[in-house]
A and B are shown apart, each in its own frame.
Chain A
């Protein structure tokens, strides 16, 4: 239940509580709240309206049509003309209405008045809120240089304005969510092919998927295309995953590979393809560099050796290599997305990329594709220079190939905690929730305690917002005018979408663009935000003939740009200007130029490895409190193999205590053969500390409280699967 101080401040919460004394009566309360809100917002003139938008319930941005009835959004339908999602909208997308009309939403600016984490807030007006934030930023900038402010933005169409603000304010310290997700995978493919590819799943005949769970962790168009390719075009899917996911269940073959040994499997594939001359020699000679070094390197990595490491029979590895090569170039090792798993994850993913290079599938149907031309322009600006700033980002120098634009959350947190190389004392957070998505929640909390000022802009009071000094309410995507964005849809499309408000913004919520504009005005930076989103969009779309009209008529603009063969006559963006099997830059930097296998670390005696994964119902930690989605997946449990459960004397459904080097938690056990002995799994985003998230406060266990804070040595991406836990039967 929400704490008393917050409830006192939220009129709608009061209305809801008055209407719905029990959880059972919440639906009736919601109706009352809704009718009140619409009266405030002003009902639309026409009884029915249909408006285009692009979903924001995850990062895919599926095109949709909102049906608005008397000013209320009553249904969200997929936009049938939106090819990237193949005209579909998932459960999360459908639940967008529950995000818009969520009674647990933030409603007005809140200033912390009690101790941090005590949950005592004071409602304040926007002027006071912006004055407070601006004065704190000014103070921190003067005391610690402008790099004393850290900016973190989640995946959002307006996040680019947070980056812009940080730069003109003068801070180098910007981190995105991506260093908790896919950066090491991007690093590996970029350092092999010169860019991060898109998989042409639809036209592939043979797909090897290692770790990716595409039938639950939805990526468009890949998830839909994978099913079409398998069911309608006869493509073969082979899955490597210790966990029996829904993707594993639907695959032609599934191998419960030992966790952390994917590289052994991939090196053995390269071994077979090279030693049996199964590759297109002319293509490889023309496009790649380093075959000789690779051949010498993988000579020792035969399938028999790999079987001993990864547990997949050598005969199957050899057969899969031959089958992949036979189907090539319409075959692939699926690149995957989240790779925040091991401390050598860039090198693991390099071994994926190298097999793809040997399959000669780059830039060809059924293989891996480069980004297509979309043609959206990026309006420029001339940021000022501050001579007193330190030379580098605070997280610099700790991972040799970190991405400048994304940084590393884990390393930045170390820098803030240590005060080295310089103090970082302010944190601006927009729509991301590191308290639930980053490893070692306790450490994040300790880091926050060292800050002088923290402001969070979000739709609900996330666990991160709950610890802030100032919370600013943001509208949901259905209430916003957003810049245009370019989307890559593999062979399906290269397109542009944008958003206009489907309904007016509720409560006193304001988009982060307006907030940043307000802050810029108070910090003598108004000239860098002297535009509105409509003007900005016009600049983005300049030169794209017919784009504006297409967006109005169809809700999406397609650039009919070339799909395949875009590298004809073009260099690969690597040092050798070819696809680098052997990475020259790594060699120059003293890093392994070819992936060298080392067995995964072993945990302490009786410890179990904890791994992270996704379901099709929730996105990171942002949807667990959504009323509709919570009905489908209301809590989390610890997946425990029956053999481990028997050894621990734990029965299915019984509560267990879980402890790691980072912290501990309590949740029910789900005894299941879907995880192998020695490995446990739990869903992300539960066990919230924020009392206003009424569906998940104190419900289940936060995986962030258990995950250890390792990181990939090359990219600085988090290494979440290097976590070992002990499990005991709960005493109570």
Chain B
């Protein structure tokens, strides 16, 4: 039993590590993330909305990484729980890939 518990805990830690890595590295679908961000976040995070007006450009890549690494402790964690890991990672990838210090922060006309 004890052996099983250790194995399960080890597995859980490995899964968490992999998910953590995935979140840290992005590698999700940024396009899907943009759609999900608009659908799930912009309802509040918009000009005149209930929360601060946010866009990918609001933070640096490092700041987005930090924020997503501890998403369980942010104000709207309950809403985030309704999303799957994959969906959260897609949103992270979108915000990270178009962050203020990303290669494509703004249109270049």
Contacts and interface: CB of A to CB of B under 8 A. Distances in A.
Contact of B104 (A383, A391, A403): A403
Nearest to B39: A382
A194 B103 CA distance: 9
Contacts of B32: 385
B26 to A, nearest CB: 14
Interface string B79-109: 0000000000000000000001101111111
B108 A190 contact: yes
Nearest to A163: B107
Contacts of A191: 103
B101 A577 contact: yes
Contacts of A404: 104
Interface residues of A, number: 30
B107 A574 contact: no
Nearest to B105: A573
Nearest to B37: A382
Interface in B39-59: 39, 42, 46-47
Interface of A is mostly: loop
Interface residues of B, number: 20
A674 to B, nearest CB: 32
A573 B101 contact: yes
A391 B29 contact: yes
Given A382-B39, A391-B29, A577 B109 contact: no
A585 B38 contact: no
Contacts of A575: 61, 101
B44 to A, nearest CB: 14
A155 interface: yes
Nearest to A543: B47
Contact of A382 (B38, B100, B101, B103): B38
Interface string B3-43: 00000000000000000000000000101100100110010
A168 to B, nearest CB: 11
Contacts of B104: 403-405
A196 B60 contact: no
Contacts of A403: 104, 108
Contacts of A383: 35, 38
A566 B104 CA distance: 21
Given A391-B29, A577-B60, A178 B109 contact: yes
Contacts of A380: 38, 42, 46
A155 B108 contact: no
A212 to B, nearest CB: 17
Given A191-B103, A380-B42, A577-B101, 10 more contacts: A155-B109, A178-B108, A186-B108, A190-B105, A190-B108, A194-B101, A377-B47, A383-B35, A404-B104, A405-B108
